[in-house]
Amino acid sequence: MRFLGASFRVAFWPLALVFVGGFPIREGVTLGLLMAFLFFVVSEDKRVCRFVPYWVRVTPHWCQILTDFKLISSAEEWRTIREFVESSTNYNVLRDGVLFTVVQQGGGKATLPAFHREMHVAWQEVGDFDAGMNERHPPLIFWNQHRVFGAEFRFREDMTPIQIEETDPIRKLLGTGYRPAILFMGLHCTYTVNPHGSKYRPRVLGGLDFGIEVPVGWWENVKDSCAPVGRVDDSHPETGSVRLSLATLPLSEFTVYRDSGDRWTSEYICKTGPQLRRRRAAARQILGWTADEHEDGGRLTCIRHKYFTVRHATT
């Protein structure tokens, strides 16, 4: 329909000049195409999408994670650990989870047409979060628990007092024989070939990975008795660890915080807004997330996964 509408607008001016204005065919077509071009340039929507800061709280389902991956033996053991960490006055990821505030997404301003095409939306989402794509306008994140700013969506925190026995004899000899498991979060992008051909920019699907980092030797010993893992990253020789991605949160979850200048127009209400919501709902379903009913008059969004609950809202 968009193609037919554009074709009509291109053909209208030459036809009007020739058949209504009485211009010769050659002059009428030339002048009409020029007028059509000027019409598109002038009428192109340049309204920008303003960014709205927001906070995100990630609450791991620790009992499920720790028992599924053999870090504890029972729910009773988790209750003992929870009582221990709740008595601590310092930040502990087992009690407090992860809380961060996105003060500014990367990429600067985005024009409204970026929201009209599926591929443009996906690349815009990655650009919002990837500091490497936006050296001039990187994201700005405030990590609330540590009270520090950063430019990368990367989090890594040890899960003390959860300890894992070392299996590597050299590391066991040089260390204490145990090391804490690690909770991590990081940006992950999957690229696929563009169906229109390899000369076009590939399709991209971006998300925030949540998971745990464990010694590779320990994982080799227990992986057959553990729950399925979304993705296992290659081991790191320098740390002797492997990352187990347990959930991926689609970046489309946060597209709503780019506050488009035409939010109250009929085009946004009838077309752009529903398109963004459908993309978000489809991504949630594919990656195993379900949404709660909106709380606080629709201000707070809460989505749940087997291993995590994520809440987010404007600041």
pLDDT tens per residue, range 207-259: 899 999 998 889 999 999 999 998 898 766 667 889 999 999 998 898 888 76
CA-closest candidate to residue 311, choices 287, 285, 289, 281: 289
Name the least confident of 109-113, 297-301, 303-307: 109-113
CA distances from 283 to 51, 249, 280 (A): 22, 9, 5
Q: Give the pLDDT confidence score for residue 173 in this predicted structure.
A: 61
Quickly count: other Cβ atoms within 10 Å of residue 54's Cβ: 18
* 65: nearest Cα among 261, 244, 203, 273: 244
Over range 161-183, report the average pLDDT: 77
Band of the pLDDT at 1, cuts 50, 70, 90? very low
Task: Output the six-digit token pair for 170.
Answer: 């050299």
3-state helix, strand, coil in the chain (%, to 5): 40, 30, 30
Whether residue 76 has pLDDT greater than 50: yes
More confident residue, 258 or 147: 147
pLDDT at 96: 95
**3-class secondary structure for 77-134?**
HHHHHHHHHHCCCCCCHHHHCEEEEEEECCCCCEEHHHHCCHHHHHHHHHHHHCHHHC
At 39, which helix (H) or strand (E)? helix 25-43
pLDDT of res. 3: 46
138 pLDDT exceeds 70?
yes
Number of H helices, E strands in the chain: 10, 15
- Of the chain, the percentage scoring pLDDT greater than 90 comes to 35
What is the rounded distance in angstroms from the CA atom of residue 237 to the CA atom of residue 72?
A: 26
pLDDT for 2: 46
Cβ atoms of 126 and 251 closer than 8 Å: yes
Q: How confident is the model over 73-89, as a mean pLDDT?
A: 92
User: Given this model, what pLDDT does residue 69 score?
Assistant: 95
- Write out the two tokens for 79: 């209750």
Full-model pTM:
0.74
Amino acid identity, position 315: T
Evaluate if residue 110 carries a pLDDT over 70. no
Residues 57 and 310: beta-carbon distance below 8 Å: yes
Of 228, 226, 231, 146, the closest CA to residue 186 belongs to 231
Amino acid letter, 283: A
Identity (one letter) of the amino acid at 204?
Answer: V
19 Cβ contact partners less than 8 Å away, ≥ 6 residues apart: none
Higher-pLDDT residue of 307 and 122 is 307
Show the CA angle centred on residue 263, arms to residues 257 and 265, nearest 5°: 170
Whether 187 contacts 208, CB under 8 Å: yes
Residue 42 in this model has a pLDDT that exceeds 60? no
Residue 198 pLDDT exceeds 80: no
Q: Any bridge partners for residue 191, and if so which?
A: 204
Q: Does pLDDT of 152 surpass 70?
A: yes
pLDDT of residue 189: 77
Q: Which residue has the tokens 């992008």?
A: 189
Average pLDDT score over the chain = 79
Q: Which residue has the higher pLDDT, 106 or 296?
A: 106
pLDDT digits (tens, 9 = 90+) for 112-124: 444 445 556 666 6
Reference 252, options 106, 123, 157, 166; nearest CA is 123
- Say what the pLDDT of residue 117 is: 56
Q: What pLDDT does 274 receive?
A: 80
Cβ–Cβ < 8 Å for 170, 215: no
